Amino acid sequence: MRIALIGFGGVGKAFIELLHDKHEILKSMGLTLILKSVMNSKGGIYNPMGIDPLRLIEHVHQGGELCEFPDEGIRKETFQNLIMRRDVDLLIETTPTNNKTGEPGLTHISKALERGFHVVTANKGPVLLAYKQLCTLAAKSHVQLGIGCTTGGALPTINAGRFDLAGAQILSIEGILNGTSNYILSEMEERDCSYEEALKQAQQMGIAETDPSLDVEGWDTATKLLILTNILMEEEHKLREIRVEGITRLSPQHIQEAKKEGKRLKLIGKAEKGNNRTALTVGIEALSQDHPLFNVNSTNKAVRYITDTLGDLTVIGGASGTTPAAASILRDIINIYKGYPFV
């Protein structure tokens, strides 16, 4: 399978490393991934015979720029050239998320699907804003759109809901969908420290971003919840409809008071079907010890589905970080290769 990668940040680089590390396992499945094109915001490289993942990673680790990769046969690449050539089977799109316009990812994904490329993306923006339209393009071109990375990285939230709950009506979705916030809450409970101290620790460990606002204010959770709800419950909600509360106002006293009652504070995203509408909320909940999400700690995530005929399904775990996110992209690629229908 011939592939191209657009977006060469942490997840993109981790994916290139996985191509090398998992080569033999993929080969045993009968799957050979030939990396022909890699692009970032500064430009791109293309080799019709394939780019060596190991050499590219070594070049980057030594401080080299992508566009300066000194490999034989390398040519300059643009997205327009990639689309016009049509010499790849699948595009991996990992550019930064833009929840307002979806760009530039929305254009990348739309054009690739129109030209008959499978697409696997880690980019939440296009999925949030235009999932149905993208599915229509994919179906028209008889290709697949993999989005498993967008709602929990390594945690198989979308795939579990789509495949393992097939035929059942999902009545509610609730989840711990942000590893950064969950880590901070766990640290506040275990160390009896302030939010600021726990955040600083998370940033020093590379768990929290320099600007963690999307995570700690609940908007990353809201975005993931919205994608899950609209796709799995087949509804059409907007981000502005969700009542969102983050964790920034929590004090150690709040944490310890809940602990004395045998409860644990968690940032929960929840979608519940009512008589006339589905209510979507993101906020702090005090979970009792018998709740399925009570013991989901540190950077772990979880999602719980309640259905009409298959009962409850809770999926817990899924490591956080760039490598697990890249691994979830690889998972979707393998499943597309095996013929699983995503659209």
Give the active site residues.
224
191's enclosing H/E stretch is helix 179-191
Angle at 253 (CA atoms; ends 248, 256), nearest 5 degrees: 110
Using CB atoms within 10 Å of the CB of residue 196, give its burial: 0 to 12 exposed, 13 to 18 middle, 19+ buried.
exposed
What does the longest C-alpha to C-alpha distance in the chain come to? 66
Torsion of CA 17, 143, 131, 148, to 10 degrees: -30
86: amino acid identity, one letter: R
Which residue, among 274, 312, 311, has the nearest Cα to 292 in the 3D structure?
A: 312
Which residue, among 51, 43, 41, has the nearest Cα to 4 in the 3D structure?
A: 51
Gyration radius of the chain over CA positions: 21
Using CB atoms within 10 Å of the CB of residue 121, give its burial: 0 to 12 exposed, 13 to 18 middle, 19+ buried.
buried
